[in-house]
């Protein structure tokens, strides 16, 4: 009787030891609070040599066998894209004169259009974005049109006559307009059929913090103009201009795990060979690289370190904590800056994730999402379905 009792006590002791080891390993994942849409605040994170062993031990315990890469191969991104969401009209942010055959003119001034107005209709056709407004103007030519504007809570209708700009060879109103939501983000990866994933986090309304629903949207080429370096307490930023005349794709989804869409058939956006995608369970602390085009057209690799790799059995947006170690990138940007979201993270020759957020208190560090979750999300959304861009009108 006593022997059985002692044996039971011994077995319970062993179970308690095993459970403690598992809990201890899992408890090493950092807890960080959010601040705004794409910026995070954090205390200091220390990288320990034992982290890699602990991550491998947890994965081995859970999966039982060595994790394997995913079957789907992808083409790596790292190029900057201009993203424009269809919204409720084109916002007027400036009024100007241009040179017509009769001299300097501004149809906007003549008709009474003001800065802050939103163009919502032109000759009864709903305006979703600045590109649509510009296209309709070219179709109309120098004919008087009815333009419907939103001014505060009021809706008003005015008559306006576009004029021909002899410099740009286009019909204009003398307006500078922008889309409701537009900006720059890095392409993470593309599938052979042209479907793509970027950002790794959602685009949200700056006033409400809510994810902006997609009613449609377009992808354009863009050019990086300058970089504001990040520093403690202030996130840096990539500044650029979107070329609205060079549409290369459309947007299908804006969700918690990124922005997803597809390129126009025949668009040569990516070069190189297809790359394996690591499963989330394969990612571990250690050396890695990020791929992004910041001071040129073609993406370039920069050294980073994955200092935390959280175990995630289901999709989540903050799987990794990373640190920039590349001296060239640190000189250029100070670390991670806004506009780098979506930059591919590569480890052991495989795509493992994408850069998503920067720590405000330490711009050399930030978050990354696992590539497995972005690939899974892309498959789901495609089966079911700041810099401001300016456009002269």
Tokens read off for 7:
């044996």
Residue 13 and residue 363: Cα distance in Å, rounded? 45
- How do strand 217-228 and strand 286-292 relate by DSSP bridges? unpaired
Cβ proximity of 344 and 354 under 8 Å: yes
Each domain of the chain, given as residue ranges in start order, spans 75-83+180-392, 97-173
Query: Percentage of residues in the chain with pLDDT exceeding 90?
Result: 48
Residues catalogued as catalytic? 201, 326, 341
Q: If you write DSSP's letter for every residue of 248-280 in order, what string do you get? A: EEEEEEEETTEEEEEEPTT-----S--B-B--G
**Residue 41 structure tokens:** 């605040």
CA dist 176 and 389 (Å) reads 10
> In the prediction, which pLDDT does 10 show?
60
- Residue 295: its pLDDT value, please? 74
Using the structure block, give the residue that is written with the tokens 């990138």.
329
| Cα separation, 15 vs 13, whole angstroms | 5
For 115-159, give the DSSP string.
Answer: TT-EEEEETTEEP-SHHHHHHHHHHH-SS-EEEEEEETTEEEEEE
Burial class (CB in 10 A: 0-12, 13-18, 19+), 41: middle
Q: Which CATH class is domain 97-173?
A: mainly beta
* pTM across the whole model: 0.67
| pLDDT at residue 34, as a whole number | 26
Fold of 75-83+180-392: Thrombin, subunit H (2.40.10)
**pLDDT by 10s per residue, the chain, length 393:** 555 555 665 656 566 555 554 444 433 332 222 222 333 222 223 333 333 344 444 554 454 567 888 899 999 999 999 998 877 778 888 899 999 998 999 999 999 999 988 898 999 888 877 878 888 999 999 999 999 998 887 899 999 999 999 999 999 999 988 776 778 889 999 999 999 999 999 988 776 778 887 777 889 988 898 999 998 888 889 988 888 778 899 999 999 999 999 999 877 777 678 999 999 999 999 999 999 998 767 899 999 999 999 999 889 889 999 999 999 999 999 999 999 999 999 999 999 999 999 998 999 999 999 999 999 999 888 765 533 344 444
Give residue 302's pLDDT.
Answer: 97
Over residues 253-275, the pLDDT tens digits come to 999 999 999 999 877 777 678 99
């Amino acid at each position: 009787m006593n022997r059985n009792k002692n044996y039971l006590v011994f077995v319970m002791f062993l179970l308690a030891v095993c459970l403690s080891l598992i809990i201890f390993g899992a408890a090493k994942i950092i807890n960080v609070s959010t601040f705004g849409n794409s910026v995070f605040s954090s205390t200091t994170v220390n990288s320990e040599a034992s982290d890699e062993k602990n991550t491998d031990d947890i994965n081995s315990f859970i999966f039982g066998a060595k994790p394997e890469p995913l079957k789907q191969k992808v083409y790596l991104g790292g190029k900057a894209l201009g993203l424009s969401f269809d919204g409720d009209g084109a916002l007027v942010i400036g009024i100007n004169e241009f040179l017509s055959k009769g001299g300097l003119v501004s149809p906007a001034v003549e008709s009474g259009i003001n800065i802050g107005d939103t163009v919502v209709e032109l000759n009864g056709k709903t305006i979703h974005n600045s590109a649509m407004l510009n296209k309709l103007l070219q179709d109309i030519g120098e004919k008087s049109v009815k333009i419907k504007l939103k001014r505060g809570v009021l809706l008003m209708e005015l008559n306006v006559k576009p004029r021909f700009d002899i410099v740009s060879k286009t019909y204009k109103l003398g307006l500078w307009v922008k889309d409701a939501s537009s900006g720059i983000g890095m392409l993470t990866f593309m599938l052979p059929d042209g479907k793509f994933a970027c950002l790794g986090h959602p685009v949200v309304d700056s006033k409400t913090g809510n994810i902006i629903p997609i009613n449609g949207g377009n992808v354009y080429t863009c050019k990086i103009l300058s970089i504001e370096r990040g520093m403690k307490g202030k996130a840096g930023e990539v500044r650029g201009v979107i070329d609205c005349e060079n549409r290369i794709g459309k947007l299908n989804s804006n969700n918690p795990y990124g922005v997803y869409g597809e390129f126009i058939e025949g668009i040569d956006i990516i070069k190189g060979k297809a790359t394996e995608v690591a499963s989330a369970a394969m990612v571990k602390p250690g050396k890695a690289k990020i791929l992004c085009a910041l001071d040129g057209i073609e993406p370039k690799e920069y050294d980073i370190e994955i200092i935390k790799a959280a175990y995630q059995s289901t999709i989540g947006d903050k799987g990794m904590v990373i640190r920039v170690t590349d001296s060239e990138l640190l000189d250029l940007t100070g670390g991670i800056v806004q506009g780098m979201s979506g930059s591919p993270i590569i480890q052991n020759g495989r795509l493992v994730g994408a850069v998503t957020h920067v720590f405000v208190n330490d711009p050399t560090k930030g978050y990354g999402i696992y590539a497995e979750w972005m690939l899974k999300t892309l498959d789901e959304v495609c089966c079911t379905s700041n810099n401001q861009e300016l456009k002269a009108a």
